[in-house]
Structure 1
Amino acid sequence: MKKRFRVAALVAGLGVLLLSLSGCGQSLSKQNVLQNDKDANTINWGVKADTKLFGLMDVQDNNIKGFDVDMANHITKHILGKKGKARFIQVTSQSRIPLLKNGNIDAIIATMTITPERQKVVDFSNSYFDAGQSILVPNDSNIHSVKDLNKPGTTVLGVVGANSVQNIKKVAPNARVLELQDYAQALTSLKAGQGEALTTDNGILYGMAVQNPGFKVVGGTFTREPYGVAVNKGQEPFVKAVNKAIKEMEADGEYNALIHKWFGNVPGFNYKELER
């Protein structure tokens, strides 16, 4: 009898735990994140820390800096007011959506392309940066465009969870694609000769080229990659607030000032195409 009682008690306890966890998930989806952020006077942003020009950790002061970070700061002020605070949490291409879905962050602003597949899982703001996919190669490379990659024996480096990996498989199906965990690892692999080219969005690649003079971006862009701010499903007020903030930034010149700040002096990058 005692064993049966203990088993029954254990099962009942597990049932309560599962119901509790289920309730947490349901309450999270029903929360008004925008109102929560207004109450806390803080927005928790997921940003990258390995991507120069967009989000890169500054080892001098341990702060993440870049265009995405500045955009998040400005959007926060437009939504919460001048005293509003932006809190930054480091994400990768692979971790950003799980962290958002789990409630660890309120929004993602991390070179995230708006795609139909992702729109099934998260909601996006309007595009705040219109990128395009390209390739990075050593200065002495014989590869001049994505067409040169489409042959057996060629290895292209990419990052797990990035839209660029799927794109390159479509335009260069005969190439082998090697996926690394982040851009730092991908660039290290390119330097080590483990691939002939590294592919992702042009803005990210130009950032790598700035840091690594022995490499260059070639071939122009072969896709359109509009970046959006991602939020959880069911958070329409938050999306509307972000879109309103972006429009205000464009109208008062803030947006173009940030474009010029981060991309105006990047060799080979036509930043004027991005101005609004």
Structure 2
Amino acid sequence: MTKSAPPAEHPNGAAVRRIRQRGSLVVGVDQNSFNWGFRNPRTGRIEGFDIDLAHAIAASVLGDPEKITFRTVPTARRIEAVKNGEVDLITRTMTITCERLKDVAFSAPYFRTGQQVVVERAARVTSLAAAFKGRRACVAAQSSSEAELKRDPRGTSAVRVVENQLDCLVLMQLGQVDTTLTDGSLAAAQAAQDPTVQVLDESISDAYMGVAVNRAAPDLVAWVNQVLAEYRADGGWQRSYTRWLAPTMGASAAPYLP
């Protein structure tokens, strides 16, 4: 499932040439996922772990990490944005799945994750079974979490599907849903934003995040894979993890290395 094009330092392909002629790498990102892709209210800049990776790719392709155009893309529109050429690539906590590989290409994995549950601390829920049975669940549209609950509703009384995973946190704060199923990294971000919720320790599945690219751009996939190899080797991946994710996901990055 996670197989991708081999890394290539200088693939002279059409996609890379188009980016260079344009002078900017167009990247689909999130602006609402704390520590991953979010707009810093003090600076107005979009920052986070996924954003650091996007800057590293821009630096490699164009020689300048700031030669980048961010386009915020809702969860449900990630594949569409890649397929129609609205963006060159997506760095937005996107897990690699066999179903998605029918529509887009993926880089090699850059983060290991899984599906986890967010619940209110006051509910005193301690197990996955209790988190779902007879309770109102929330997932983002076109997400792996939505696919998981379609496959196995787990006894939920209702499933609310929203545009972005952060909308689930808002609905939980409003008392309109009881349980959120989302990527484990995003679950940790929700708990960091709101101390009244918690992430259950149990994980539903094992998954890997990748950079999504148009299937017609194998040269760009190969280039991104070379960037990922260098980014990990030179410590960039670890520095970004330490800055953005260690406070909520733990000092050791070992569980999340692909």
Contact 1:128 1:228 in 2 (8 A): yes
| % identical aligned pairs | 27
Residues 150-181 of structure 1: CA deviation (Å, up to 9, x unaligned): 43x31111111111111134344321211112
1:126 corresponds in structure 2 to 108
Partner secondary structure for residue 248 of structure 2: coil
1:171-190 map, 5 Å: 171-175=152-156, 176-190=158-172
Contact 2:166 2:190 in 1 (8 A): no
1:158 paired to 2:147:
no
RMSD, matched Cα: 2.0
Q: 1:79 to 1:196 in 2, by over 3 A?
A: same
Partner secondary structure for residue 38 of structure 1: helix
Count of equivalent residues:
245
Contact 2:165 2:182 in 1 (8 A): no
1:28 corresponds in structure 2 to none
TM score, norm. by length of structure 1: 0.83
Separation in 2 of the partners of 1:185 and 1:202?
16
Q: Give 5+ residue unaligned stretches, structure 1.
A: 1-30
1:3 corresponds in structure 2 to none
1:35 paired to 2:17:
yes
Q: Please tell me whether Structure 1 or Structure 2 has the larger radius of gyration of its CA atoms.
A: 1
User: After the TM superposition, which parts of structure 1 deviate over 6 Å for at least 4 consecutive aligned residues?
Assistant: none
Stretch deviating more after TM superposition (245-254 or 96-105): 96-105
The structure with higher relative contact order (CA 8 Å, sep 6+) is 2
Q: 1:219 to 1:121 in 2, by over 3 A?
A: same
1:224 corresponds in structure 2 to 206
TM score, norm. by length of structure 2: 0.88
1:10 corresponds in structure 2 to none
Stretch deviating more after TM superposition (174-183 or 201-210): 174-183
Q: Per residue, is there more helix in 1 or in 2?
A: 1
Residues 28-63 of structure 1: CA deviation (Å, up to 9, x unaligned): xxx922111122332100001111111112233322
Separation in 2 of the partners of 1:267 and 1:275?
13
Contact 2:57 2:65 in 1 (8 A): no
1:245 corresponds in structure 2 to 227
Contact 1:259 1:274 in 2 (8 A): no
Separation in 2 of the partners of 1:93 and 1:129?
18
1:208 deviates by 1.0
